Amino acid sequence: MQNAEIARLLGDVADLLEISAGNPFKVRAYRNAARTVADHPDPIAELVADREFDLTELPGIGDGIAKEITALVQTGTLPQRQQLVATIPPGLLDLLRIPGLGPKRVKLFHDRLQVNSVADLKDALDQGTIAKLGGFGPKLLEKIREGVAGGAAAAQSRIVLHEAEQYARAIVEYLKAGAGGGIDAIDVAGSFRRRKETIGDLDIVVSCANAPAVIERFSKFGDVTQVASQGDTRSTVRLSSGLQVDLRVVEPSCFGAAMQYFTGSQAHNIELRKIAQAKKLKLNEYGVFRGSKCISGRTEEEVYAALGLDWIPPEMRENRGEIALAKQHKLPTLVRLEDIRGDLQMHTDASDGKATLTEMIEAARSLGYAYIAITDHSPRTSMAGQSPAEIRAQWKEIDRLNKGMRGLRVLKSVEMDILESGKLDLPDKLLAEADYVVATIHYGLKQTERQLTDRLLRAIESPWVDAVGHPTGRIMPSRPSYPLDFDVVAKAAAQAGCLLEINGSERLDLPDTLAAAAKSHGVRFVLSTDAHNTRELGFMRFAVAVARRAWLTAVDILNTRPLPEFLKGLRRSRNR
């Protein structure tokens, strides 16, 4: 059982407790435990199997929850969740899956309107009784209607890239471990390889000497709850999370062709087949054929070359003009993870982070960064913000640490809120003392498009705001972007020399389509993780994935530059 699934079930307990008016401290305990499990770098199931390891050593996990997790790993069920499910109408769980609804709203519907199922909710929507409760505007009501109509099931069938990676890595490692060296090649294709922000299923392609043995082992993976189909060269299973995983076993001579075919996208592949037909060739998952003779297929490079194309990075394969560029040998050199010289948003326990300043610095040093920005929150952020005096005290400590360090520079920074009024949360005098400032919106997300756009424009106008962080405010998959005139924001950022952030946390914000649009306006970017613990510093790979899907190169991203060039590239360097 993967950490993501354990965390999801612990979160279910917190939601069910909240619906049933459970002890708020217990609700918080399960939410904290879910976050601890989701953030832990090692598989929790392996820690449970290690009898010498005590789960209570993990932050936020006491004796009771440790026993629950142990039972879950050993039996596949969470006792507390089973007990709670038995005490409430079963349909309330379905309501929790509808976008826009959380435990508070589900409890409100249950208590005030006796809504106990999706069918009850539909009736309440049709009768207008939900609108009468207050706090439910037209957009939210429409969002709930879409969920009732089937959008909820569709949303639940997809998982965020971060979670999909856990399953993909675990299955690949599991298959490799049991192959006894019999696997020649293995990789994950599909939308996962194209690094889409959400994943509907996983497609795994294997080349090996003993296909039946690999397929049999695949069906016995610990998270498998259903073997939907199984043949000589393919198998489809469903995991406990509901995720579908397809396995294809192919000959080494056609591994590249299979990877190209199953990576997609469908629109990209259709265009490739048209090119093949024009050349009197046939293209499929087994290779490129002239008549009955296979002329290429061992590698993807061979497949594309047979069609007269350069190899196209998977992130670009969406039929957005990449094929024409490949034909003209003009594909951009996309940014790579190893191009990134520094991480420009992270948090310590001085605000809402889980690690100390020293721990975050040492973790960043281990990644080989030349510079990092410690961006703890400004005062507006409830329960996490620092006062100006506390910010200056942290900067003083950073100055002291920088004097004794070589090879890594810690930038005196802050994540500053853009207030609902449009004013900035900190005075210019303080901002001018910083090395780097990222401005973000956390509150007032229900304002109009004009109000939210104007707030971002006010921040962009400030000479001491270096970047706008997570510009659309979304969190995948639970919160969509707030209303925003993005073209206006992008043009203003380009003109002012203000960076836009691509955030590698589960926000994945900017989205790739908007990042591509911003690039067309001349915007420069910064990639960051928004890490709240040392493990999340690894989220830079997701920020890079978004950038690659947006066709960004290292030139487009300021934190690919050495420290002197990075600092010179900030507009505050001109203002000083």
Q: Is residue 309 part of a domain?
A: yes
**DSSP code of residue 535:** G
Q: Which of 18-22's residues contact partners 24+ apart within 8 Å by CB, and which partners?
A: 18/103, 18/104, 18/107, 19/88, 19/92, 19/103, 19/106, 19/107, 19/110, 20/84, 20/87, 20/88, 21/107
List, for residues 183-205, the tens digit of each pLDDT value. 999 999 999 999 999 998 999 99
Q: Is 376 in the same domain as 523? A: yes
Q: Is residue 173 part of a domain?
A: yes
Q: Is 177 in the same domain as 298? A: no
Q: Is 446 in the same domain as 549? A: yes
Q: Is residue 255 part of a domain?
A: no
Q: Which of 156, 179, 211 is the last residue of a domain?
A: 156
Q: Is 88 in the same domain as 193? A: no
Distance CA 385, CA 426 (A): 11
User: Which residues are CB-contacts of 512 (< 8 A; sequence separation ≥ 6)?
Assistant: 197, 546, 547, 549, 550
Domain CATH for 281: 3.30.210.10
Domain CATH for 98: 1.10.150.110
Domain CATH for 558: 3.20.20.140
Q: Is 57 in the same domain as 189? A: no
Domain CATH for 230: 3.30.460.10
Most confident of the ranges 11-25, 182-196, 238-252, 562-576: 182-196
Q: Is a pLDDT exceeding 70 seen at residue 179?
A: no
Q: Which residue has the tokens 């939308």?
A: 191
List, for residues 315-369, the tens digit of each pLDDT value. 999 999 999 999 999 999 999 999 999 999 999 999 988 899 999 999 999 999 9
Instruction: Return the closest-CA partner of residue 314 out of 327, 301, 324, 305.
Output: 301
- Note down the domain range covering 100: 3-156
List, for residues 16-34, the tens digit of each pLDDT value. 888 887 788 888 899 888 8
Task: Determine contact, residues 92/23, Cβ cutoff 8 Å.
Answer: no
Question: 18-22, 127-131, 287-291 — which is least confidently predicted?
Answer: 18-22
Q: Is residue 332 part of a domain?
A: no
Identify the H or E element spanning 208.
strand 201-208
Q: Is residue 94 part of a domain?
A: yes
Instruction: Return the closest-CA partner of residue 441 out of 483, 397, 402, 413.
Output: 483
Q: What is the mean pLDDT of residues 148-176?
A: 79
Measured between alpha carbons, how far is residue 282 from residues 28, 275, 302, 318, 351 in Å?
58, 9, 14, 21, 59
What is the domain count for the chain? Answer: 4
Looking from the CA of 330 toward its CB, the CA atoms found within 13 Å total 7
The vertex-195 CA angle with 282 and 98, nearest 5°, equals 115
Q: Is 398 in the same domain as 541? A: yes
**φ/ψ (deg, to 5) at 412:** -75, 110
Q: Is residue 483 part of a domain?
A: yes
Give percent of the chain above pLDDT 70: 98
Distance CA 109, CA 92 (A): 10
Q: What is the torsion angle, in degrees rounded to the nearest 10, for the CA atoms of residue 273, residue 275, residue 278 and residue 284?
A: -30
Measured between alpha carbons, how far is residue 85 from residues 121, 226, 546, 558 in Å?
19, 23, 38, 50
Query: What confidence category does residue 433 fall into, taking pLDDT thresholds of 50, 70 and 90?
Result: very high
Q: What is the mean pLDDT of residues 444-451?
A: 91
Q: Is 101 in the same domain as 184? A: no
Q: Is the peptide bond before 510 cis (omega within 30 degrees of 0)?
A: yes
* Per-residue pLDDT, 154: 46
Q: Is 136 in the same domain as 185? A: no
Question: Residue 574, exposed/middle/buried by CB under 10 A (0-12, 13-18, 19+)?
Answer: exposed
Distance CA 412, CA 396 (A): 9
* Per-residue pLDDT, 464: 95
Q: Is 242 in the same domain as 206? A: yes
Q: Which of 129, 156, 183 is the last residue of a domain?
A: 156
Q: Is residue 20 part of a domain?
A: yes
Q: Is 10 in the same domain as 84? A: yes
Q: Is residue 553 part of a domain?
A: yes
Assigned token pair, 237: 């299973």
Q: Is 140 in the same domain as 269? A: no
Q: Which of 290, 306, 327 is the last residue of a domain?
A: 327
* Per-residue pLDDT, 364: 96
Q: Which of 171-175's residues contact partners 24+ apart within 8 Å by CB, and which partners?
A: 171/202, 171/204, 171/218, 171/221, 171/245, 172/204, 174/217, 174/221, 175/204, 175/206, 175/214, 175/217, 175/218
Q: Is a pLDDT exceeding 60 seen at residue 152?
A: no
Q: Is the peptide bond before 240 cis (omega within 30 degrees of 0)?
A: no
Q: Is 458 in the same domain as 526? A: yes
Assigned token pair, 162: 């971060």
- More reliable by pLDDT, 149 or 399: 399
